[in-house]
C-alpha cells in the first residue's frame, strides 16, 4: 500500500487522475530513498515520486504518459513534491520539457514556472504585431 509511511513524497493515480502528496514527507524527509520493493508500488497504475529521481527520470515520468492531461498531472506532481528541496533537479527537468514540448511546458502557467525560476516562452498578443 502506498501511504505516508512508505516514504513516498507523492503519487498520481493514472486511472482516476488523483494526485496525492504527503506534505510532511516533502518537508521533513532528509534522505530520499526508494524502498527495495518500489516496483511493487508502481504496478497499481501509479506514478510515484520518491525524491531521489534524477532530472532525466522525472522528465521520463512526464513524457511517457499518453495524454496531455496525464503529462500535466505528473508534471504538477513533480513540482509540488520536489520543488522545495530539489529545486535544481525540478528546474532541469522542466528545461528538458521545454525543449521537448514547449506547449506542455507553457501549460504549467506563469506562477508554477516562476516558482522554479523559469519563464514562459509564450508570446504576448502584442508581440505578434
Quick one: average pLDDT of 105-124? 91
Across the chain, what does the average pLDDT equal? 90
Using one digit for the tens of pLDDT, what is the confidence trace for 32-81? 778 788 788 777 789 999 999 999 999 999 999 999 999 999 999 999 99
Quick one: average pLDDT of 6-26? 91
Q: Which residues contact 96 (CB under 8 A, 6 or more apart)?
A: 55, 56, 59
The total of other beta-carbon atoms located within 10 Å of residue 92's CB is 17
The domain locations on the chain are: 4-128
Does the predicted TM-score (pTM) go above 0.95? no
φ/ψ of residue 121, rounded to 5: -105, 5
Quick one: average pLDDT of 81-109? 95
Locate all alpha helices (DSSP H) within the chain, ordered by sequence: 23-28, 38-42, 55-63, 68-82, 87-100, 102-107, 109-115
In angstroms, the CA 78 to CA 63 distance is: 12
- What grid cell was written down for 95? 528545461
Give the pLDDT band of residue 9 (cuts 50, 70, 90).
very high
3-state SS class at 8: coil
Amino acid at each position: 500500500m502506498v501511504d505516508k509511511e512508505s516514504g513516498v513524497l507523492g503519487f498520481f493515480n493514472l486511472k482516476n487522475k488523483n494526485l496525492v502528496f504527503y506534505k510532511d514527507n516533502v518537508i521533513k524527509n532528509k534522505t530520499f530513498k526508494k524502498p527495495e520493493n518500489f516496483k511493487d508500488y508502481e504496478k497499481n497504475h501509479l506514478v510515484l515520486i520518491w525524491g531521489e529521481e534524477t532530472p532525466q527520470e522525472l522528465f521520463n515520468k512526464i513524457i511517457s504518459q499518453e495524454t496531455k492531461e496525464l503529462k500535466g498531472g505528473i508534471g504538477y506532481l513533480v513540482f509540488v513534491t520536489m520543488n522545495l528541496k530539489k529545486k535544481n533537479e525540478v528546474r532541469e527537468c522542466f528545461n528538458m520539457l521545454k525543449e521537448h514540448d514547449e506547449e506542455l511546458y507553457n501549460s504549467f502557467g506563469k506562477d508554477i514556472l516562476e516558482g522554479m525560476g523559469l519563464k514562459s516562452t509564450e508570446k504576448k498578443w502584442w508581440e505578434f504585431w
